[in-house]
Homo-oligomer: A and B are copies of this chain.
């Protein structure tokens, strides 16, 4: 079987499994995204072994999450974000600080040394913006005030989480490079501030004229693709994650997106690639592998700490906004999803943690991801009817 043919077969299996499980989960009135994650667990190397983990699948999956964040960004107006700026920043900040401290505390209690404990704390800090955005999008409440707080905070804690990870990784190497860290910090701040402050205005002012000058057909689509790929590459290049660049690309084009008809043009690409991302994420879940006696207790405690610490951090950030917003935000921030998995993978590849702690990070990421969607429906008081109706018009299948 040639490499290209194998990829085609994998994509067919992944996409078909995504749709079959989506159909089942729609019928049993559960979030489609959970269906896709479970589809991945079923067909993946730890399940039926129908597809294997390859760089190609991972790359196409990453394209999926990039287009997801781009689409979310396109729906996000900076004015709306600024309106929730204060709580979003506070939730993002305390949502990093509290899990970091509590995670560190838990592992220190269990006798791990400071580097291991610090790393496990780090694995707890970043909320999965992909999962969160998807679930909120599926519920059709992406523009809800609390959703905006959650999105803003999730972007911020991804950035803070990456900075903490860079810090811990260099500590683990035994040599903390102040200069490198400060460069990363400054780059990250400038990148985000520049794009969110000037990006939409610059795009709004110049993009019409630029597109008018182009002779190629469907120039807006081309501009959209080049912007999202370009800023994703740039974000990753300066040490942030590609998805942060993709979200910011959406923000930059959000105010011109109606004019460019971009959402409609990008959506089908997302419809193809986004389910692939969630299925491929699912393939990494080795649920049975996790359940051995020695790690099970620690996993469950880590999960509890992951949930409680994030909810405390979010609650601190939303003090004064009322009990309901505090609860909604807290639950919305719980899923660690792919970000937790990525942090775990980096830790394993750098030799900071071993297979046992890696398994716990994966397990924590999965558990926090799986429990949240039904809880979110509950606290947002979404009725099934509404969910079904809105998914048709909203982001993502």
Residues of A within 8 A of B (CB): 3-5, 7-9, 11-12, 15-16, 19, 22-23, 26-27, 32, 55-56, 58-60, 62-63, 66, 214-218, 221-222, 225-226, 229-230, 232-233, 236, 242, 265-269, 271-272, 388, 391-392, 397
Tally of this chain's copies: 2
Query: What CA separation (Å) do A66 and B233 show in the bound complex?
Result: 27
Between A and B, 5 residue pairs with Cβ closer than 8 Å are A7-B55, A8-B232, A15-B225, A222-B397, A268-B269
Is there contact, CB below 8 Å, between A12 and B230? yes
Q: Closest B-chain residue to A5, C-beta based?
A: B236
Most chain B CB inside 10 Å of its own CB: which residue of A12, A62, A214, A266? A12
Contacts of A66 in B (CB 8 A): 8
State the CA gap A12–B26 with chains docked (Å).
36
The CA of A397 and the CA of B4, in the complex, are separated in Å by 24
CB distance from A389 to the nearest CB of B (A): 10
Q: Is the CB of B233 within 8 A of A8?
A: yes
In the complex, how many angstroms separate the beta carbon of A217 from the nearest chain B beta carbon?
Answer: 5
Question: When chains A and B are docked, how far (Å) is the Cα of A221 from the Cα of B271?
Answer: 8
Establish whether residues A26 and B215, one from each chain, have CB atoms under 8 Å apart when the complex forms.
Answer: yes
Q: Helix, strand, loop or mixed for chain A's interface? A: helix
Which B residues are in CB contact (< 8 Å) with A272? Answer: 225, 269
A219, chain B: closest CB distance, angstroms:
8
Say which residue of B23, B59, B217 sits within 8 Å of A7 (CB atoms): B59
Task: Tell me whether B19 and A242 are in contact (CB under 8 A).
Answer: no
Residues of B with C-beta under 8 A to A265:
268, 271
Residues of B near A16 (CB, < 8 A) are: 226, 229-230
A3–B55 CB distance below 8 A: yes
CB distance from A246 to the nearest CB of B (A): 10
Q: Is the CB of A271 within 8 A of B218?
A: yes
Interface contact B56-A19, CB-CB below 8 Å: no
